[in-house]
Structure 1
Amino acid sequence: MRDQMMGVSSKVEEVAPFIGMVIMEGCTIALTILAKTIMTGGMSPFVFVVYTNALGTLILLPYSFLFHMKERTEQSLFTWPLLTRIFFLGLTGIALSQNLAFVGLSYSSPIVVCAMGLLIPGFSFLLSILLRKTKLDWRSTSFQFKVLGTSMSLMGAIVVLACKGPYIRSSSPSSSLLSRLHKQQLFVFYRRPDSWFLGCILLASSFLCVSIWNIIQLGTVKHYPQVMKIASFYSLAGTIQCAMFSFIVETDLSAWKLKLNMDLLVIVMTAIFGSVIRSSVQIMCTRMKGPFYVPMFQPFRIFWAAFFGVGFFVNGLHYGSLIGAIICGMGYYTVMWGQLVEDEKWRDIVNSPDEKEPLLQEDSQV
């Protein structure tokens, strides 16, 4: 009986992270669609970003201290180097990336968000070359995979940008409920925008900021390992930066008024999900499965976007957008595979007695 219980427990530990991450990606796309809906209905993307992050910060600050309550660290968070990092984490991870993302979303569609989000590993690879953290070693298998994957991702982004193509599913007279929903714009998955090209460029710029944020965050966590506390304080910094910017851009005071309607509901759901639920699940899955487990699920957003677009929304999806997103997904996995090969190579070198000490010293300087 005891062996059976242990066997069941091990199976649950294997299946639970997978199911959890698939659900997280589905919820992310669902909230993206809802955000697109309320922006189409008149909600300013700048106001949405401020309210979402303000509420998320209020939730995350006390939660982060509870999350790390049993952990002890001698490193103080309130030092000038860490505060500087927190400022730039808020700037790149929230103020720039989220404002660009939601304005870009208002001009495009959720499937484009999926495709452009898959450019992050490619952008990170290009940034590492520019910052001279990666050498141009064409004989290296990992480098070749990264170059190939980055090229595929950029190619997929170009397809999304230039080739929308026909609808996968057009409106049908028999789909009376879906037709009514589409006409009333209760749920908007795709609306023909005036500036599709601009939306794609803004989204690509947003995820370039996320790549920069990843580089800053990686070094920050090495200096201060309590991730949720870092997240709460850079969320606060980013919210203040967003508020200062949005009050300048959005001068219409009526745009800041909230009512008990769908707009408020989406803001609350996005804040709770982004600040607590998704972060906690990702941290737990990373601790259980390693650093490469969580990023592997981002291309699942393509499935959810296609599922929602074909299954529930009229005129929701174009062939060009879907094909481009799939190409981006293939490039994403190729870059990730190259990174995995590189990490395994470094792990083997680190475990070597002759090379262990120098590498640890180099790593501590990053």
Structure 2
Amino acid sequence: MGEVVPFTLMVIMEGCTIGLTILAKTAITGGMSPFVFVVYTNAIGSLLLLPLSFIFHRERTEQSLLTFPLLVRIFFLGLTGIAVSQNLAFVGLSDSSPIVVCAMGLLIPSLSFLLSIIPRTTRLDWRNSSSQAKLMGTLISITGAVVVELYKGPFIRKSSYFYAHQLKVIPKLFVFYSAPDNWILGGILLAAASLSVAMWNVIQLGTVKQYPQVMKVVSFYSLAGTIQCLVFSLIMERDLNAWKLKLNLELLLIVVTGVFGSIIRSNVHLAWSRMKGPFYVPMFKPFGIVFATFFGVSFFTNSLHYGSVIGTLITGMGYYAVMWGQIREEELRKERDVERTDDTSDQIKTPLLQEQEEAQV
């Protein structure tokens, strides 16, 4: 049960994430502003996270979030992790499909690896198997993303819009379609969103080391990101009617997405990361490909092409190669730490033995 429960919950989390992505695509295609959607979902998440973070972290600490360096980090965490990434993601989603979202999301480890090389936080050793795996995985992931972008291939199944358009009937239920289909633009925006998330990963890593109370950091940068989204959305979406909420399925979608993303998914990921290690949660990311393909075929959502599925699978192979390299690098680091500890203990023991021998003489 110790293995089955985490595995099952992680698969369910990925399925729910893709399901909500499909529903968000449906709502946006139906006329809902993606900028408004991002603001409201993050506002709900911030209102829930802020009080919960102080309940979760009841212990007192000498560190304060009111220091200027941490406030700067929180500002950029909100900017990269919420304001830029989510707005780009949902606008890109409106011009593409959930399977393209999966493909571009799988680029995040590769982009994080490339970004870590620039400030030299990661050392490249060409003779090291971990470095070789990360480099090869990065190249494979980028190749897969290019295939998704430039090659659609024949249909696996055409969307219901394709048939309804010929009959001059516009379907309503679980159907979305971008007309005209700005596939390449949508993919570029989603890739830019992944780059923003990769930057967020780099900033977050240093922030958590300085301030280990993770829930407080998350709640504060969520609040900062919500404010940034509001400012940006007021510029992009000036139609006041778009901000009016009604008691309908769109409001339910906003509430469910806000609660699921900020409370349920984040806490499940945090719990399993602490129990299973930092690489357990990312290993389930490619499961989204399976759910996106299944939902796409089952509910006749967007047109599903062989090129999209093949390219996404190639990107998934590169994703796992990069993850293997990261895991291998962590194992080597632990082995070096153990060797250093053993060397230190030997150095301590040697003088003690010499002292005992001198005392006996």
TM-score (norm 1): 0.88
- Where do 5+ consecutive residues of structure 1 fail to align? 1-11, 358-366
What amino acid does structure 1 have at the position aligned with 2:64? S
3-state SS of paired residue (1:292): coil
- In structure 2, the CA distance between the partners of 1:94 and 1:341, relative to structure 1 (3 Å rule), is same
- Change in CA separation of 1:72 and 1:292 when aligned onto 2, cut-off 3 Å: farther
Shift in Å, 1:45: 0.7
The Cα shift of 1:246 comes to 0.8
Output the amino acid matched with 1:311: S
Q: Residue type matched to 2:54 in 1? A: F
| Corresponding position of 2:357 | none
Match of 1:346 among 291, 312, 333: 333
Partner of 1:59: 48
User: What pairs up with 1:198-209 in 2 under 5 angstroms?
Assistant: 198-209=185-196
Contact 1:152–1:328 (Cα < 8 Å) also in 2 = yes
Say yes or no: does 1:153 pair with 2:141. Answer: yes
Distance 1:314 1:218, change over 3 A: closer
| Residue 34 (str. 1) matches residue 23 (str. 2) | yes
Contact 1:190 1:317 in 2 (8 A): no
Q: Secondary structure at the match of 1:184?
A: coil
* Match in the other structure for 1:363: none
CA–CA separation in structure 2 for the residues paired with 1:165 and 1:341: 36
Q: 1:248 to 1:140 in 2, by over 3 A?
A: same
Task: Within 5 Å, give how 1:1-366 maps onto structure 2.
Answer: 12-69=1-58, 71-170=59-158, 183-188=170-175, 190-313=177-300, 316-353=303-340
Q: CA shift at 1:189, angstroms?
A: 5.1
Superposition deviation, residue 354 in structure 1: 5.8
Q: Partners in 2 of 1:68 and 1:338 — Cα distance?
A: 34
Number of aligned residues: 340
Aligned-partner Cα distance in 2 for 1:83–1:254: 34
- For residues 139-176 of structure 1, give each alpha carbon's deviation from its aligned partner in whole angstroms, at most 9, with x where no partner exists: 1111110111000100000011001122212368xx99
SS of the counterpart of 2:3? helix
1:236-286 CA-partner distances (Å, limit 9, x unpaired)? 000001111110111111111111111111110100001100011001111
**1:168 aligned counterpart, secondary structure:** strand
Q: After TM superposition, where is structure 1 displaced by more than 4 Å over at least 4 residues in a row?
A: 354-357
Instruction: Determine if contact 2:159/2:303 at 8 Å carries over to the other structure.
Output: no
Work out whether residues 145 and 315 of structure 2, in 8 Å CA contact, stay in contact via their aligned partners in 1: yes
Distance in 1 of aligned mates of 2:158 and 2:223: 44
Partners of 1:169 and 1:316 within 8 A in 2: yes
**Per the alignment, in what secondary structure is the counterpart of residue 188 of structure 1?**
coil
In structure 1, C-alpha distance between the alignment counterparts of 2:343 and 2:258, rounded to whole Å: 43
Deviation at 1:126, TM superposition (A): 0.8
* Gap change, CA 1:238 and 1:355, over 3 Å in 2: farther
* Bigger Cα Rg: 2
**In the TM superposition, what is the alpha-carbon distance from 1:64 to its structure 2 partner?**
1.7
Letter in 2 for 1:168: I
CA–CA distance in structure 2, aligned partners of residues 19 and 114 of structure 1? 20
Q: Does the CA-based 8 Å contact 1:169-1:314 persist in structure 2?
A: no
Question: What residue is the counterpart of 2:347 in the other structure?
Answer: none
Conservation of the 8 A alpha-carbon contact between 2:80 and 2:200: yes
Structure 1 position 63, deviation (Å): 1.7
Residues 1:338 and 1:257: Cα distance change in structure 2 (over 3 Å): same
Where in structure 2 are there 5+ consecutive unaligned residues? Answer: 345-361
Residue 315 of structure 1, CA deviation: 5.1
What root-mean-square deviation, in Å, do the aligned CA atoms of Structure 1 and Structure 2 show? 2.1
Q: 1:87 to 1:314 in 2, by over 3 A?
A: closer
Whole-Å Cα distance in 2 between the matches of residues 305 and 190 of structure 1?
Answer: 15
1:76 maps to amino acid: S
The separation in 1 between residues aligned to 2:33 and 2:191, in whole angstroms, is: 20
Deviations 1:190-243 (A, max 9, x none): 545432111100000001000000010011111111211111100000000111
- Please tell me whether the aligned partners of residues 29 and 94 of structure 2 are also in contact (alpha carbons under 8 angstroms): yes
Alignment partners' CA distance in 2, 1:244 and 1:192? 29
Q: Is the 8 A contact 1:167 1:315 kept in 2?
A: no
Task: Report the identity percentage.
Answer: 67
Distance of 1:307 and 1:138 partners within structure 2 = 40
- SS of 1:13's partner is coil
| 1:314 CA displacement | 5.2
Q: What amino acid is aligned across from residue 60 of structure 1 in structure 2?
A: L
Q: TM-score, normalised by structure 2?
A: 0.89
Provide Cα deviations, 1:3-48, integer angstroms capped at 9, x if missing partner.
xxxxxxxxx2221111110000000000000000000000111111
